[in-house]
Structures are given as structure tokens and as C-alpha cells.
Amino acid sequence: MITLETARDIKWTIDPSHSEIAFKVRHLMIAHVKGFFKTFDASIHTSGKDFTTAEIDLWIDTASISTGDDKRDEHLKSAEFFDAKNYKEVTFVSNTMGGSTPKGNHELWGDLTIKGITKNIKLTVQFGGILKDPWGNEKAGFTVNGKINRSDWGLTWNTAIESGGVMVGDEVNITCEIELINAGQNTAVMELEQVLDKDSKTE
């Protein structure tokens, strides 16, 4: 019996030149410091092009953090923050994605692991659409937002300021612009053709 299940399973990869994983944290209680990670990748599979079925396994190179200040970046890589020497990756593995809200957003739930600590978080995903670029590559675009408290993952370093409050806020705002490439559609079709060819030879 021939099944078309293989053809419906699509693998997607991140286009790093058109994607960004960024964050911002309040500084001195009056402004924000922004940063991003330079190196990241993911394994993503969907049933057809239905992204509510997406299985996501994302990893981020901890040492690739950048805030535009070398001294601050080295501090963030140190044991007082991400401890990049001992914890080389931040990971996110999806659990479920909810249906669309009236504003067209989806709730994405998954396990975020930082410094060996794993906690379930909720992200908001806005789907930008699917189209082919001028070279025939099928792309899908998303904007992802969320908020976490860094202290939940042991990122607790801080210092008090004379006017009251602390130097670094606990809440971290996450903003991601993600562009995916359909990396599995051609492979799936080839595999299906091989199954059909093999089946025809055995008849």
C-alpha cells in the first residue's frame, strides 16, 4: 500500500541572512539595552504547510551574544550571566501552537533551556505568509514576541543604584524575525517517486 504521508512532511530551515533573534532589557530603570545572537539554527517540521503542526527544535550559540559593547558582551558570557564556557547553547523545543486569535496571532508554547534550567514559556507568533523568492526558493515569514524573567534561569546578577532600584531589569523582552526556507519539499517528492517506482517494479 502506498502512502502520501512522506510528501506531506515538510522540513524547514532558518535563513540566517534574513532572520534575527533579539532582546531588550531595562537599564538603570529609565532606558533599554538591546542585543541579539549572531549564531542560531533550528530543525522544523510541519505537516504540509500547516504551521500549527510545527515541531521546532531551536539552538542558539550562547557565545554569539552581541549588544554593541565588547566589555558588556564579555560580562554576559561570564558565569555571572550565561556562563558560555560551561553552557554553550540556549535551546527551545516547541510543545504546542494554538489557533489564530482575532488579531491573527498564535500562541506557541515550548521548553526554553538556559544554563541547564528548563522552563515552559509562551510566545506570540504572527504569520507573515508564504511565497517564492526570485530563485524559486519557497519562504515562510514570522514575527515572534515574548517576555521572560531572567532570574527564573539563574541570571540573577545585579547591583543597586543610589537613586533606588537596580541597574538591570529582570524582565527580558524577546523579539524575533524569522524567515524559513522549505528545505524538504523536493526531497519528499523524490522519496515518493522512488516508492512509486519500486512498487511498480514489484507488480
Residue in the block written with cell 491573527: 104
Contact (CB, 8 A) for 77 and 63: yes
Distance of CA 18 to the CA centre of its chain: 13
DSSP 71-102: HHHHHHHSTTTT-TTT--EEEEEEEEE----T
Rounded to two decimals, what is the model's pTM? 0.82
Strand partners, 175: 22, 145
pLDDT tens digits along 64-106: 999 999 999 999 999 999 999 999 999 999 988 877 777 778 9
User: Does 147 have pLDDT greater than 90?
Assistant: yes
Q: Which residue has the higher pLDDT, 190 or 125?
A: 125
Structural contact between residues 97 and 83, judged by C-beta atoms closer than 8 angstroms: no
- Report whether pLDDT(141) > 90: yes
Residue-averaged pLDDT of the chain = 84
Residue 148: the pLDDT is 96
Cα dihedral 111/10/107/33 (nearest 10): 70
Residue scoring higher pLDDT (188 or 85) = 85
- Domains of the chain listed by start with CATH number: 11-185 (2.40.128.110)
pLDDT at 5 over 70: no
| pLDDT value at residue 162 | 63
Residue with cell 494554538: 98
The grid coordinates listed for 3 are 502512502
149: phi then psi, degrees, rounded to nearest 5: -100, 120
As a whole number, mean pLDDT of residues 45-67 equals: 94
